[in-house]
Chains A and B, each alone.
Chain A
Amino acid sequence: MTTRRRAIILLPLTVRATRIPPRNRLGGGARVTRLRWLREWSKGSVAPFVWGGIALALLTLIGELFDAQHGAAALLYLSAVVLTSLWGRFVPALLILVLAILGLTYLFPSEFWTFQILGGTTDVVALITFLAVAFLVTRLITITRRVAEALRQAQADLAHVSRVTTMGELTTSIAHEVNQPLAGIVTNASACLRWLAGDTPNLEEAREAARRIIRDGNRASEVIARIRALARKVDTEKQPLDLNAAVQEVLALTEGEVRRNGVVLRRELAGDLPSVLGDRVQLQQVALNLVMNGIEAMSTVKDRPRVLIVRTQRGAGDRACVTVQDSGVGLDPKGAEQIFEAFYSTKRGGMGMGLSISRSMVENHGGRLYAVLGDGPGATFQFTVPQRQ
């Protein structure tokens, strides 16, 4: 009996010990283990159910070994096992709690703790068990939420970094894009002054030049507004969205890059595209990624025209479908799924995050992102987003 009791008491400690391998306690590789743990946790959070099942089975077994009120204590104890194995931080506190209750249960006969409540008979152990389990469940939910929130925040941060990195690659062409209207403004202002100079100023021409100044100034500020909208660090919020307009904005932003790389851009935007519920910034980031990848894939192409086709269409099941097709180096069919993995990159100096982040963002919208194989010399990527209900 003593051996068994000791085994039960020590159980949380052994579970905890197997969770983190000893070498990680020394610091080496601890980060990796924690990340893997986080990832497993995120996979549908099946762990609590597994542990719950094991707990129920053990409870039945222990119910046979002990009498009834000890079974209640065992329930509490097992809850502690489950919880502490899920989240190690509670070990000390729970151990004390559990030991206290177990001690009380063994020291005093159950009748001693019985009292009347709401017309029924119950005992203190059962009450404490109930309160403790309630407390633990609440904590568990809070922790789950906190972990999910931390994960979501980490993903958002990563997406932001990736987005800003992509935009960093666009710096030259964006600078050009802003510089053009500025050049227009300076020249128009010079022209305006010239029309106003002399004995017979030409007011109509001067006015026309001033109007062009206003127009070019607005154009420059529009470019900047587009960049700021995309570079902003925002919390995800899904709103009714016109995917065509969102894609157009991305194409406006990449226009300079397209030109600089001698790429011919073909837009085939469907008129009957279903409206979707989506996060504008996220979906634009996906489109931006695909467009930039396409341009990059064609940078070594010399023997054929560099054509980038950006198409939107109504897909099967009333889904909005966005296709980005390039005439670049293409994909290795064997590695077509690998490209969506994190830290996998075919580019020199690439982070290998673009497609992986893009895929999770599309899936976050209930859609899919995939490569279409065997479609022309280059690569074709497609993502779908379900229609807004």
Chain B
Amino acid sequence: MHPFAYARPTSVAEAVALLDEHGPDARILAGGTDLVIRLRDGTVRPSLVVDVKRIPELRPRIDLVGGVLMISAGSVMTDVATDARVRRHFPALVEAAEVVGSVQIRNRATLAGNVCNASPAADTAPPLLVYGAIVVAAGPGGIRRLPLDELFVTSGQTTLARGELVTAIELPVPARRMGATHVRRTRRRGHDLASVTLCCAVDDAGVTRLAYGSVGPRPVLVIDESGVLADPAAPDEAKAAVFEQMFAAARPSPRSMRASPEYRLAMLRVLGARALRTAIARLGEGAA
């Protein structure tokens, strides 16, 4: 591994100052499950690695205050997937967190890191988009909150500015009754990234929220307010027409070794229909 300097700030202000000073020469280290691989293979060569795990505000913590669940940036997938409040209010996020890597990876990989890497295949991105996640970022100009949909630009690229650091992810507890699920297609569970990753939620007002990833340069959120998808009695042809509009943004890479574009687009439709059926069934069961 290429040598680098290491910093272990103990406050958000200190971390922001370091990141601002070093700009692209610094990399944030949270769980390290992506960063350490890239440090080793040389695809990133920072002069400074900023380990944010010792910052008190970022330590693993999940709080429910005033109808908003706050997940600190140091919270790992295991923390998210085992938290009773997340399981109750955001079951599709639990399903996604539970399929990230293996036990070893989930014990280390943070939810915030999954988002900040901006991988198109990030499994937690679709449920976070569907649930309306807000990213809390601290920077030289103070703290700002932005919808997750406004964070992603393209693969590996976010709208975070120089010196900015995600400190938490906020999830508003759904105001309406909702049925939701996360599904994915992968070659081997426990290791491989998703060939398609998708989340679907249906609420009792008939709104269907769908988010999908690994079929283009960034995860995509689409919403059907017509009520057609959520209507259990609507004919399949009517639903298929809505799905086609929703999937129009899918642009799978022809260069990926994981699956061909044709396969991904076909599976996107299969998984979309399957997830919709599950979401409707869960709404009917009175699930969160």
Whether A and B are associated in the same complex: the answer reads: no
B residues at A contact (CB < 8 Å): none
A residues at B contact (CB < 8 Å): none
